[in-house]
Amino acid sequence: MTAVLEPTLAPLPLALPAVERRAVMPSGFTAAATAVGIKASRGPDLAIVAADGSASRAGVPVAAIFTMNALPAAPVRLSRQHLAATLPSGGGGYGWTRGIVATSGSANAATGDSGDVDQAQIASLFAEALGAKPEETLALSTGVIGTRLPVRAVGDGIADLVPRLSASDEALAAVAEAICTTDSRIKVATVSVAVESSGDEAATSFRVSGLAKGVGMIHPHMATMLSVVLTDARAEPALLHDILRSSATRTWNQLSVDGDSSTNDTVFLLASGAAGGQSMQQGSQAARALAAGVEAVARDLARQQAADGEGATTLITCQVSGARTDIAARAVARAVVSSSLVKTAVHGRDPNWGRIAAAAGNAGVEIDPNRLRIAIAATLVFDGSAGGPLAFDRDAARAAMDAPELLVRLDLGSGAGMGEAFGCDLTEAYVVENSEYTT
Amino acid sequence: MTAVLEPTLAPLPLALPAVERRAVMPSGFTAAATAVGIKASRGPDLAIVAADGSASRAGVPVAAIFTMNALPAAPVRLSRQHLAATLPSGGGGYGWTRGIVATSGSANAATGDSGDVDQAQIASLFAEALGAKPEETLALSTGVIGTRLPVRAVGDGIADLVPRLSASDEALAAVAEAICTTDSRIKVATVSVAVESSGDEAATSFRVSGLAKGVGMIHPHMATMLSVVLTDARAEPALLHDILRSSATRTWNQLSVDGDSSTNDTVFLLASGAAGGQSMQQGSQAARALAAGVEAVARDLARQQAADGEGATTLITCQVSGARTDIAARAVARAVVSSSLVKTAVHGRDPNWGRIAAAAGNAGVEIDPNRLRIAIAATLVFDGSAGGPLAFDRDAARAAMDAPELLVRLDLGSGAGMGEAFGCDLTEAYVVENSEYTT
């Protein structure tokens, strides 16, 4: 045991634009939401996001990420098919769309062929109301697995909503509210990006706004939960897809609430092009700025989702540096935030670095204990190069942990790879909430 | 929705000998345990298992499985080295031993070089007391990570215990007790196996007895927690290793309490040969009977560990049939018992088959929803070939779930692969227990 002489580990440097937690509607989109009685609570449970009238007949470019669960829900299957119908070369991962219909309260998962028929009927009604083809629409749903959607009520709701579609910020906030289930608050994030002219690229500016819902059945290695990200930037579907996948790798796929991936997880990124200018070229300064904007929004939404994890009181961010690769760093970070023992220790405000070390050791990544350093909040607690455990002020460490956000830093001392992951503490309230849901 | 007409899914047929939950010492071994003050509770925390005086100078054959955690504890590193020293061809996974020293209350993990020095000193003291070489001894430890073992107290305890080594059943039970930490009860299992003569194989009979400790930081894809399995059968180290690994694949590696793999997990299988006869040949009837005996003991210990999971009230066994391969069936079964949402639903006695289906879908195994069938206890709740969800009596299903053991059955309808996994419900008590441990 040695005294604490070393400085603590600094947070990772991240090159992302600043995010505001407001619902700001990018140009080129409209939205509306209402309650049609899917949720027993009678809260809002039906929402629409649509390209406004200025969109081309086929709609706007869209990219998607879907759950990797082997039993995807009906809306996921339908959205994949529709994307593939609008752009076969996109393989169902990107294409064109006129709008998204979102329902909450029923997942329309594990509902067999009937669920597919229901979802197709909703798509027809939605398309008819928009004056579009069914394949130009997409769908999202969240809620209880194994229950059917009330098709007639949803259809009536759509007929009511379409004439009321609005480009206001309030309409976007209403969508964020309507897709919530056990979320305690809405999740929205927005960035405004200006790109100066350089070389043969003209100056451009655009906005990226996202909304998302958490808060259970969230775990890495699936697409994610539900999220819609809108931008008025001008970009082709394939570029949007590259940007979305790369952002998700560092954000949503690094998010774990409870280790379960849902049957319904979906993220859509839509680009209206209303900001004007040329369509962005892969590798251009504008495309890189859009990628940073999307990642900033995705990261902030992921952190909001982690903070609002079922029963959670503390957002845990684990940042790892000194790994051989970024992939290894992300794996270690994920293992730490996914560990039930780390999660309960954080809940107990217990600076139990042994559990952090053990969780890191389960990541499938080689770790040299003589180079490993661990800091909890601002306290360096373990330094392998100084014999391992450090003496530290436990009361001060406990006090620092008693906050809505906790940073856990690890440095592996073996390379330049870095990454982060987001999770939350595991509390009695999580257990109570999930022991009492449904039935 | 259709009425329940189909019979429910029958439990998997398993060809394993019957197990008794008693501590019965196999011939050829001795043991003793005491308290030396490692545990704050002053409970027993030091135990020895040794080959009796009839063993050869090098001891008895032993096979081991160790944690796959990247930060293995000092006793794990020492045991690997000692096995490799007694049988270099075994690569540290099997060899010869005179005895095992087990400590509880401190894991001796993440203790740096000092921890290795401590463990080596304990091995020297133990070897001296046995009249053996240090490399002819093995070590196990469990408890808090990052704390050092009190070497002098452990040494004094060893000097006290070795003259009191006993071949009694009570001595074996005392070891089972001394390795416990948060376990609420000891875990022991024994089978007696008789093999009739056949062809050129003589008749033989032997006993397999195991002891183990749970109950947190338990998850598939590591070796397991702590267990020692003893048999008086006569078998070489390499055969023992094959048998142990193959048994663990279907038992301990299918056990999940909380998704965390510890730094200290270790299983030892020792064979005294005191039952007499020829050394068993790979592929012989006797070797197959020994494998079945070891697997029966391992399976029973794994079930005891799951049932005594921290805070648990219900043992969950998930059995999967109809998979393309046994590996796929085991993956699906593991995914179901590892799901926090399934675990909380079981705690709430909620026959929420949607969570079971979603968890199965996360196993990385292709599943045809139109062939999937799910039964909870004796109730078939989902039949993909009959449209999916079945109507069933929820009150009766809830009542059936209110039991210390719950069987969840899935049939994938796609092949002959089968497998099972063992877990427990997730309760408020787990969270409370792990929020308050240490510090």
**Contact yes or no for A338 and B259 at CB 8 A:** yes
Residues 6+ apart with CB under 8 A from A181: A39, A104, A105, A142, A143, A213, A215
The whole-number average pLDDT for the span A324-351 is 91
B338 contacts in chain A (CB < 8 Å) = 259
DSSP state of B90: G
**Contact yes or no for A432 and B427 at CB 8 A:** no
Q: What is the DSSP track for B379-406?
A: EEEEEGGGTEEB---HHHHHHHHSSSEE
For the CA atoms of B286, B289, B295, B299, what is the dihedral angle to 10 degrees? -150
What distance in Å separates the CA atoms of residue A196 and residue A198, rounded to the nearest whole number? 6
The CA distances from residue A147 to A13, A156, B141, B161, B219, in Å, are: 45, 19, 49, 63, 32
* Residue whose C-alpha is closest to residue A418's, from A410, A426, A428, A429: A410
Return the pLDDT at A34. 98
Mean pLDDT (chain A) is 89
State the complex-level ipTM: 0.75
Return the pLDDT at A257. 67
**Contact yes or no for B109 and A354 at CB 8 A:** yes
String of b and e for A24-34 (b: at least 16 CB within 10 Å)? bbbbbbbbbbb
Looking at B315-378, which runs of residues are DSSP E strands? Answer: 315-323, 373-376
Which of A71, A114, A219 is nearest residue B361 as measured by Cβ atoms?
Answer: A71
User: What confidence category does residue A259 fall into, taking pLDDT thresholds of 50, 70 and 90?
Assistant: low
CA distance B41 to chain A (A): 20
User: What confidence category does residue A85 fall into, taking pLDDT thresholds of 50, 70 and 90?
Assistant: very high
Is A151 in a helix, a strand, or coil?
A: helix
Looking at A324-390, which runs of residues are DSSP E strands? Answer: 373-376, 379-383, 388-389
Q: Which DSSP helix (H) or strand (E) runs through B95?
A: strand B94-97
Mean pLDDT (chain B) is 89
**Contact yes or no for B341 and A431 at CB 8 A:** no
What distance in Å separates the CA atoms of residue A367 and residue A331, rounded to the nearest whole number? 12
B3 pLDDT above the threshold of 80: no
User: What confidence category does residue B18 fall into, taking pLDDT thresholds of 50, 70 and 90?
Assistant: very high
Return the pLDDT at A215. 63
CA distance B187 to chain A (A): 23
Among A128-137, A185-194, A356-365, B256-265, the minimum mean pLDDT is found in B256-265
CA distance B166 to chain A (A): 36
What distance in Å separates the CA atoms of residue B6 and residue B188, rounded to the nearest whole number? 39
Tokens 């040949």 locate to: B281
Q: Which domains are delineated in chain B?
A: 29-307 (3.60.70.12), 315-435 (3.10.20.340)
Write out pLDDT tens, residues B31-73: 999 999 999 889 999 999 999 988 777 899 999 988 888 888 9
Chain B residue with Cα closest to A72: B361
Return the pLDDT at B309. 79
What distance in Å separates the CA atoms of residue B51 and residue B230, rounded to the nearest whole number? 10
Residue bearing the bigger pLDDT, B223 or B273:
B273
* Residue whose C-alpha is closest to residue A206's, from A54, A50, A26: A26
User: What confidence category does residue A8 fall into, taking pLDDT thresholds of 50, 70 and 90?
Assistant: confident
Which of A347, A388, A427 is nearest residue B111 as measured by Cβ atoms?
Answer: A388
Report the alpha-carbon angle A64-A70-A74, nearest 5.
Answer: 60
Substitution target from A1, A141, A340, A343 for chain B, most B beta carbons within 10 A: A340
Q: Which position among B67, B224, B266, B317 bears the catalytic label?
A: B224
Write out pLDDT tens, residues A11-23: 888 889 999 999 9
The whole-number average pLDDT for the span A326-334 is 94
Residue bearing the bigger pLDDT, B366 or A4:
B366
Residue bearing the bigger pLDDT, B109 or B215:
B109
* Residue whose C-alpha is closest to residue B343's, from B315, B308, B373, B303: B315
CA distance A142 to chain B (A): 13
Substitution target from A263, A310, A332, A344 for chain B, most B beta carbons within 10 A: A344
The pTM assigned to this predicted structure is 0.82
Strand order in the sheet with B405-411: B388-389, B379-383, B373-376, B405-411, B315-323, B417-424
A204 pLDDT above the threshold of 60: yes
B5 pLDDT above the threshold of 70: no
Return the pLDDT at A70. 85
- List A419's β-bridge partners, or say none: A320
Return the pLDDT at A227. 83
Residue bearing the bigger pLDDT, A309 or A49:
A49
The whole-number average pLDDT for the span A367-382 is 93
Chain B residue with Cα closest to A344: B435
Return the pLDDT at A10. 83
User: What confidence category does residue A74 fall into, taking pLDDT thresholds of 50, 70 and 90?
Assistant: very high
Would you call A224 a catalytic residue per the annotation?
A: yes
Return the pLDDT at A266. 84
Q: Which DSSP helix (H) or strand (E) runs through B298?
A: helix B285-307
- Between helices A326-338 and A353-360, what is the axis angle to 10°? 130
Strand order in the sheet with A379-383: A388-389, A379-383, A373-376, A405-411, A315-323, A417-424
- Structure token digits, residue A409: 């830093």
CB–CB contacts below 8 A, A to B: 229
A374 contacts in chain B (CB < 8 Å) = none
- Structure token digits, residue B119: 């463990």
- The answer to whether B136 and B59 have CB atoms below 8 angstroms apart is yes
